[in-house]
Amino acid sequence: MVYWAVLVAHSNEPTFEFEWLHTKKIQVSSIANVSSRIFFLTPKESKERNPRENSATPTTDPSGSTLPSPDMQSPVLVLKDSLTRESGSKVHHANIQASKAVADIIRTTLGPRSMLKMLLDAQGGIVVTNDGNAILRELDIAHPAAKSMIELSRTQDEEVGDGTTSVIVLAGEMLHVAEAFIDKKYHPTVICRAYNKALEDALAVLDKISMTIDVNDRSMMLGLVKSCIGTKFTSQFGDLIADLALDATTIVGVDIGHGLREVDIKKYIKVEKIPGGQLEDSKVLKGVMFSKDVVVPGKMRRKIVNPRVILLDCPLEYKKGENQTNAELVREEDWAVLLKMEEEYIENLCVQILKFKPDLVITEKGLSDLACHYFSKAGVSAIRRLRKTDNNRIAKACGAVIVNRPDELQESDVGTGAGLFEVKKIGDEFFAYIVDCKEPKACTVLLRGASKDLLNEVERNLQDAMSVARNILKHPKLVPGGGATELTVSATLKQKSSSIEGIEKWPYEAAAVAFEAIPRTLAQNCGVNVIRTMTALQGKHANGENAWTGIDGNSGEIADMKELKIWDAYNVKAQTFKTAIEASCMLLRIDDIVSGIKKRQAPGASQPSKPTIEQEGEVDNEQMIPE
């Protein structure tokens, strides 16, 4: 129970007024000689005595400053001052705005009439590209939602290698159409449920309109790879990149049974960029090349036909002590014995290798001068300090096995699959070629071009083309390109939305409309009348018919994609839809952003020292620094 304390004073002297917590005014003489009594009143009594009751109007003390009312509680602080927290629809709007901003950066890089972006990095280097992932990878972004959008494009690039721009544009559009529902106070979970339903139906439509192809039909495969990289910068060089990509992926493909093929692009396809020459000089080698020369150029052969290759993973030099080794020699002859032992050890190694009559010995580690002497005497060429990855590729190309110890060598470890070993000089550098292999399972793509920037862009395009070729070898299914797939999906979802009951119907319909972002962007980048083109296309796709009608990316006209051979790989499209919708659902379900969280320090770690601020008095007594 709350009691009011009332101060009553007895005095006949001149008085002044005093007010105490809403009770009636009482007369008090000078504070020093007040004889006072304190009564405690129950709440009931205090109400009778104080008609104003404990209303929330603040009272003033004698100095005029405001006192809080007794019922006003002080705020409870949970988060530290350094933390900032945003929640509710404010966060949703911020996330949607950030995602739209990211999508707008790369919107113009979609389609064959796409623009290029020039990015300058901190070191002053230049990147000129229209590859969505390459652009976003270079950007330094602060907003957390925008960062997760960039992750999308990276995931898409790693998974399927193509569609990095489409996935960002689609995710941005999905969030954009959701904004209206957030404003109408729809719960994000409802929107996400509708989106997931739309995703399931979209994938069902993809299955329906896809067509299976024969991976051995080269012209069909070429057309497909060409249409996938037709949006890239190198499309002006015709079939060149598509040819290179197809050849490379066909070489390294490995049958793993059940009609499936495994293609490992990262491990077994090396792209070697050499500035100079023309782009038309680029080729896929039936084997490997690497920038090394033989150890002793004058004495070792630089051209060997049908070489026997031995690959080693051990040093051909005398074993050094693990740490400092001290040997105390008493007699002078002991020194000669020590040296002789070293020489015999190396000679022993070389004899074990030369027993197999190799023409070429390649090791990842060092090769001593003495070993070089023995090899050159036997007419064997040697290469040292080769990268592990290159060594693995050579093993795959010529059928050799990498051996760790020379005494374990067997005849089956010697590679005999190579047709030619040759060292050539390109520009200022020497390159060793191991080519004309019988059944290579690794290869090198040699790229020539005018400048480094051009070569970098060609390499990026080639990576995409190889990924597409790999995808088709894995899943030989096609869907129409040129925005036709998205329009068919959109039309089918619009029809289905009428059968959906409840509140989820509207977000489902909005998702259907969002799919049209891809053909719309294509039309925008072609420079045609967007509204007229989109209306005509929607009319053709109205009942989910004419699945192959889309936009010709070069002219902006409505055309049949089958005739123009504009196709997309099925799993690129499926991955694009999945990634875009799942990411937009994730961003919509964020309703709180807490920032300013510090990293936890290890116990006992000293706090970072605060910067000291110089006081005014200390400025003058600064020590002079001698010159």
Catalytic residue among 164, 444, 485, 576: 164
SS3 148: helix
Burial 234-243 (b: 16+ CB within 10 A, else e): bbeeeebbbb
Q: H helices within 11-108, ranges in order?
A: 43-49, 89-106
Neighbours of 13 (CB within 10 A): 9
- The answer to whether 560 is a known catalytic residue is no
- The answer to whether 325 is a known catalytic residue is no
Among 569, 578, 579, 575, residue whose Cα is nearest residue 471: 569
Among 580, 593, 511, residue whose Cα is nearest residue 92: 593
Query: Mind spelling out the 3-state secondary structure of 265-306?
Result: HHHHEEEEEEEECCHHHCEEECCEEECCCCCCCCCCCCEEEC
For residue 251, the surrounding DSSP H or E stretch is helix 240-252
CA dist 493 and 105 (Å) reads: 28
- The answer to whether 131 is a known catalytic residue is yes
Among 9, 17, 10, 8, residue whose Cα is nearest residue 39: 8
Place of tokens 């051909």: 316
Sign of CA dihedral 16, 20, 23, 28: negative
CA dist 261 and 523 (Å) reads: 37
Catalytic residue among 23, 109, 165, 579: 165
CA dist 382 and 179 (Å) reads: 66
Assess contact for 485 and 144: CB atoms under 8 A.
Answer: no
CA–centroid distance for 225 within its chain? 23
Assess contact for 577 and 173: CB atoms under 8 A.
Answer: no
Sign of CA dihedral 93, 97, 99, 100: positive
Pairing mode of beta strands 309-312, 402-403: parallel
Catalytic residue among 157, 247, 359, 464: 464
178, 479, 490, 577 from 195: Cα distances, Å? 10, 22, 13, 11
CA dist 136 and 143 (Å) reads: 13
Catalytic residue among 129, 131, 231, 521: 131
Burial 344-357 (b: 16+ CB within 10 A, else e): eebeebbeebbeee
Assess contact for 422 and 326: CB atoms under 8 A.
Answer: no
DSSP per-residue codes, 112-134 = TTPPPEEEE-TTS-EEEE--HHH
- The answer to whether 165 is a known catalytic residue is yes
Q: H helices within 517-627, ranges in order?
A: 517-526, 530-540, 561-564, 570-588
138 token code pair: 């270079």
For residue 9, the surrounding DSSP H or E stretch is strand 4-10
Assess contact for 174 and 105: CB atoms under 8 A.
Answer: no
Reported in sequence order, the residue ranges of 401-442 that DSSP labels E, i.e. its strands, are 402-403, 420-426, 429-435
Active site residues: 131, 164-165, 464
